[in-house]
């Protein structure tokens, strides 16, 4: 039986594992966090459910529409909104959300694979098979014929360096040019339901903020709970500042937009929020090394692009057999 290790449990890694599993592969997803999802992240806080990474997905490509049909019929995702009231500058088109948060479709994709969580990959080595070694933790060592890495590209390069591994000079040069924006996220609980109108979002209310939303109006939280994403400029300026320096201003904007007091909050730093410069192809595959790389650093922002990157990486592996 063909087997594959997929490093990273975001949408790229999870759909790659799903497509490979459908072709009879034995697939294992390796994730450094406690659960799957990557930047399609949903968090619990005092009974509230909060999407604090990607907020929605749009679907245009036929390959993803096939999965969307199944997700809709299985109540994994649902339509959220088509247009933002009073915002003619925001494109019209159906935005879909996970039924229980944005991790829902990723969990669905990953369910056909073995999942190893809390696994920080220390190094990779190509012997008779690929060998993936855990740093600290349980000291796990995993082996498989095929390896797929879907980390943000700078983390891929760090892994290569730790592993004393390299690809051809041209490919390495293209990988080294991939860059991302950063994003400071603020999430928390509200004293009372917000004053936002459905669908419960406000985009770019001030230059320092890209997004504010109410997860209760969105339909994933029983309690009033908010998400705020700072702009790339604000995030960069305050990236290394303590919370007491960077967050009060953002809390004030949230309270102003939501017309409700923030009762409890926490912050999260997304170090690889959106790719600015991409690899230039939607995936990389070396049949000789049985290695594939995928993710939004290859194909650009939007969940659908990351999804297609994972699908194409899987198909490259299958086609190379």
- Mean pLDDT of the region 180-190: 98
Q: Could you report the per-residue pLDDT of 233-258, keeping only the tens digit for each? A: 999 999 999 999 999 999 999 999 99
The residues, ordered by sequence, that sit 6+ positions from 74 with a Cβ below 8 Å of its Cβ are 108
CA distance 13 to 61: 18
CA distance 28 to 140: 13
Short-list 293, 313, 6, CA closest to 168:
293
CA distance 280 to 285: 13
For 285, the token pair is: 């595959």
Q: In which residue ranges of the chain is CATH 3.50.50.60 found?
A: 3-42+100-179+277-319
CATH of domain 182-270: 3.90.660.10
Confidence grade of residue 173 (pLDDT, cut at 50, 70, 90)? very high
Confidence grade of residue 90 (pLDDT, cut at 50, 70, 90)? low
Short-list 87, 46, 55, 71, CA closest to 219:
55
Confidence grade of residue 163 (pLDDT, cut at 50, 70, 90)? very high
β partners of residue 133: 123, 141
Domain 3-42+100-179+277-319, architecture per CATH: 3-Layer(bba) Sandwich (3.50)
């Amino acid at each position: 039986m063909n087997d594959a290790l997929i490093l990273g449990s975001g949408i790229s890694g999870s759909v790659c594992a799903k497509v490979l599993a459908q072709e009879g592969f034995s697939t294992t997803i390796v994730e450094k966090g406690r659960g799957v999802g990557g930047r399609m992240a949903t968090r619990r806080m005092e009974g509230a459910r909060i999407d604090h990474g990607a907020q929605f997905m749009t679907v245009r490509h036929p390959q993803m529409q096939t999965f969307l049909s199944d997700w809709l019929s299985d109540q994994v995702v649902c339509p959220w909104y088509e247009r933002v009231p009073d915002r003619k500058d925001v494109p019209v088109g159906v935005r879909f959300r996970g039924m229980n948060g944005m991790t829902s479709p990723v969990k669905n994709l990953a369910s056909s694979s073995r999942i190893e969580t809390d696994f920080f990959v220390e190094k990779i080595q190509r012997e008779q098979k690929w060998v993936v070694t855990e740093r600290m933790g349980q000291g796990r060592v995993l082996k498989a014929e095929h390896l797929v890495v879907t980390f943000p590209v700078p983390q891929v390069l760090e892994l290569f360096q730790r592993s004393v591994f390299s690809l051809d000079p041209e490919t390495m040069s293209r990988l080294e040019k991939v860059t991302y924006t950063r994003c400071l996220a603020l999430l928390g609980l509200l004293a009372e339901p917000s004053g936002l109108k459905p669908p419960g979002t406000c985009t770019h209310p001030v230059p320092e903020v890209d997004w504010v939303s109410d997860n209760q109006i969105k339909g994933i939280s029983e309690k009033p709970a908010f998400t705020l994403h700072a702009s790339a400029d604000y995030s960069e300026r305050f990236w290394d500042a303590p919370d007491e320096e960077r967050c009060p201003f953002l809390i004030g904007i949230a309270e102003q937009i939501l017309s409700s007091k923030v009762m409890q909050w926490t912050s999260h730093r997304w170090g690889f929020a959106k790719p600015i410069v991409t690899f230039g192809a939607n995936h990389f595959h070396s049949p000789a090394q049985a290695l594939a790389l995928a993710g939004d650093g290859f194909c650009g922002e939007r969940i659908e692009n990351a999804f297609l990157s994972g699908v194409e990486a899987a198909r490259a592996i299958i086609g190379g057999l």
